[in-house]
Amino acid sequence: MTKNWWKLLAVVFIIYTIIAGLLFKVPHLAILHESIRNLYFHVPMWFTMTMLFLSSVIYSIKYLKSGNEQDDLRAVEFANVGLIFGILGLFTGSLWAKFTWGTWWTTDPKLNSALIAILIYLAYLVLRGSLDEEQKRARIGAVYNIFAFPVMIVLVFVLPRMTDSLHPGNGGNPGFGNYDLDSNMRLVFYPACMGWILLGFWIAQIRFRMRKMENYFLSK
């Protein structure tokens, strides 16, 4: 258990988020009402996705340096799990939008670019799936991943901020900063992000260990 303390920490943080996230005081804001509590669940999905994709690209760079197959497998699994969290982020955001903006999806810069970022990573998996030769797949995948990561960052975190967007934290929208000032919300929001990020890494680790064994048996 000494090596797995962070997994327990993930569980504790998320349980704390569920309890404190629903009970603690939140600012009374028009339109948002109680749905402001979604901040504790929707936003950590995207932060987790970003951290997983960051780890993925780090292992891709490592792979290009070392040529070690394990690094490539780690990169893929981090991308796989990151994608799951990104899709969860899209769906939770869509539901939230339905009840605050009145529609499941609008052609908002933040929404569209988030979707494109997800598609770029889906393409990464498709690209890998279409190449049979292992070393070639690993190398081309790693190079693609190194290009995909900065594009994802620009799409999700930079471009929407340069135009007007409905989404809080972008364009002329004060959104995020406003509730971020609320220290009660910070008390839940930061542990929520930590908890979900750790959980994402845990799932990625399990997937990597499975893939490693699978590869061993396939090579026999």
Shortest Cβ 75–other proteins spacing (Å) = 20
Of 15-23, 126-134, 149-157, 185-193: span binding other proteins (CB under 8 A): 15-23
Query: Any contact of residue 7 with other proteins (CB under 8 A)?
Result: yes
Rounded Cα distance between 4 and 216, Å, is 24
Q: How far is the CB of 30 from other proteins (least distance, A)?
A: 5
Q: Give residues with Cβ within 8 angstroms of 91, minimum separation 6.
A: none
Site for other proteins in 33-62 (CB under 8 A): 33-34
Residue whose C-alpha is closest to residue 193's, from 54, 4, 14, 27: 14
- Taking the least distance from each CB to other proteins, the nearer of 81 and 156 is 81
Contact status, residue 156 vs residue 51, Cβ threshold 8 Å: no
Cα separation, 43 vs 84, in Å, equals 14
d(CA 35, CA 99): 9
Using CB under 8 A, pick the residue from 2, 5, 28, 130 that binds other proteins: 28
> Which residue, 106 or 215, has its beta carbon nearer to other proteins?
215
> Please, which residue, 139 or 207, has the CB nearer to other proteins?
207
Q: Which residues bind other proteins (CB under 8 A)?
A: 4, 7, 11, 14-15, 18-19, 22-23, 28-30, 33-34, 202-203, 206, 209-210, 213, 216
